Amino acid sequence: MEHPEYIPDFRLDGKRILITGAGRGIGLAAAHALAHFGAEVVLAARTVGEIEAAATNICLAGGRARALALDVRDIDAVQQLFSENPPFHVLVNNAGMNRTANFLEVPRSDFDDIMGLNVRASFFVAQAAACRMADEKLHGSIINVSSQMGHVGAATRSVYCASKWAIEGLTKAAAIDLAPLGIRVNSICPTFIETPLADGFLRDPEFKAQVLSKIKLGRIGRVNDVTGAVVFLSSDASALMTGSSIVIDGGWTAD
């Protein structure tokens, strides 16, 4: 005899989900996966052509999607987006960047750009999403796309690591503030994934070999290694999970 109460519910029918940085990489893959499980997805990015093409492809496959031009660093534009749209049930807070340099050589412009997008913009996008959820008494989920670098350090990545450690702290603190409202906040922390962001680094054979030596499972990640966690945290299957991180690193941080 089947017991429905034992079966996790990964369906997302009736849920509106906003994905930032959705034009490529993890954000693009997440949009496709979430739509597959029944969500109405809104793809946001600066590069309009990419997200419009992605939304069209999702709709042609039978999903529901639309594109929305947005620079998440423009906090006024972010607040306008949330005020002009119904509240989203889920935010996939994915937009991010990296530039590498030895700590002694990091220019102020790199620090400002990385922290401005990875921390400042992520903070205020999450805040705006949570405010709308709270206004409508909507129990929602905020998913911060962080990194394994929010749990370890790495050469030439001092600013990026600082930004992702900040996101891990933000995730835990915001989860405490928002739990009484029924809003969950979690992070996803991938290792190097085959995306345009990582490809520039992985083209260097020596660097790629160093990366593979750290990943105990012996391969670079793929976007579908990450999208399962996005679907899980978006769904009621993760209803008791908040203030946590899902580390998808092939064992990098195990030692």
- At residue 240, the pLDDT reads 98
Give the other-Cβ count within 10 Å of 154's Cβ.
16
Q: 0.95 exceeded by the pTM? A: yes
Which of 37, 82, 88, 160 is catalytic? The answer is 160
Q: What is the pLDDT of residues 175-208, one digit of tens each?
A: 999 999 999 999 999 999 998 878 888 999 999 9
- Topology of domain 4-246, CATH: Rossmann fold (3.40.50)
- Kindly give the parts of the chain with pLDDT less than 50: none
Here the tokens at position 60 are 């042609």
Here the tokens at position 19 are 């994905």
Q: How far is it, in rounded angstroms, from Cα 177 to Cα 181?
A: 8
- At residue 1, the pLDDT reads 64
Nearest to 164 by CA among 128, 229, 115: 115
Active site residue 6: no
